[in-house]
Amino acid sequence: MSKIEICVLIFVSVSILEAFSNTPVYYYYDEDYDYEYEYKEPVTKKAQEDYDLSELVKAWKEYIKEKNSEDKNYECDPQDDSYRTADLEQCDRYVECNIKGEESIHLCPDGLVFEIKQGRCDYPAKVNCTGRPLLQKAKPSKNCPRSNGFFPFPANESCQKFWDCREGKGYLQVCPEAVIFDSHVDACVTPDQAKRPDCRAKTFLGFECPTYKPEETLRFGNHDRLPSPENCQRFFSCLKTGEPRLGACPRNTVFSAKTGHCADPDTVPGCEDYWKEKLKDSDDYAYYDG
């Protein structure tokens, strides 16, 4: 260490001692790098409380960082904590820099990719891999094209079923009625919201809405509601775009085409006995008897 560096070290050490002792401390520096303390009158408690070391400590940290940068050739820029940066070409690879400025390359678990903002691996539907198209070689297993992720069934088999793969093991999942699985968002959504041309609403729901003119006013703002031709409880919400969404009335009610709302079965012609027939073999049948 140079004489200047030793002076800085002595100054900081003594200043810290001053802040936490009952007396101020004075020092001097000689040619042999020795230093001594000389104690004076005690300082007041208020003077100690007013003594703020934060700026001094900050300056010392900056000095050490600059000194280390001069003395060492780092692989990456060291910071107070380790951090991760994205690989420039491969979306599931990232570089980690530790506090010593040492660099290491890592891969996300197969099927996951590196999310830059959060600095962690996540599902592809949540990550923008633009400009980083490359991926590691897949590690497929039964029902899982990759070790991790969500993978839909072929549309000719099911638009609702998908595999939830975790570390190479697949778990069968099924979306609720009237919605399908969309791998673009890794979620169950209505057919008109999904980006699956092989699972279009008309094909999946078996219902086609009327064609509406752009200036046409619908009963419920951006949509109309039409009864299902096969089920008194169900109805279709038809959007201006012509895409249907399936809905269902609560238990013990049926859909009224006249009002566009759910109603008592006795008020809807042709649906008076719908729930009696539906529940005739259940314990709830007595509710309708007589």
pTM to 2 decimal places: 0.66
Q: What are the chain's domains?
A: 3-71 (no CATH), 74-137 (2.170.140.10), 149-204 (no CATH), 223-287 (2.170.140)
- Residue ranges of alpha helices (H) inside the chain are 3-20, 45-50, 54-71, 201-205, 274-278
> pLDDT at position 284, please?
53
Which one-letter DSSP state was computed for residue 250? Answer: P
pLDDT the model gives residue 109: 97
For residue 163, the SS3 value is strand
Residue ranges of the chain with per-residue pLDDT less than 50: 3-4, 14, 17, 19-41, 285-290
Residue 68 dihedral angles phi and psi, to the nearest 5°: -65, -40
Instruction: Name 162's bridge partners.
Output: 152, 173
Q: What is residue 149's predicted lDDT score, i.e. its pLDDT?
A: 97
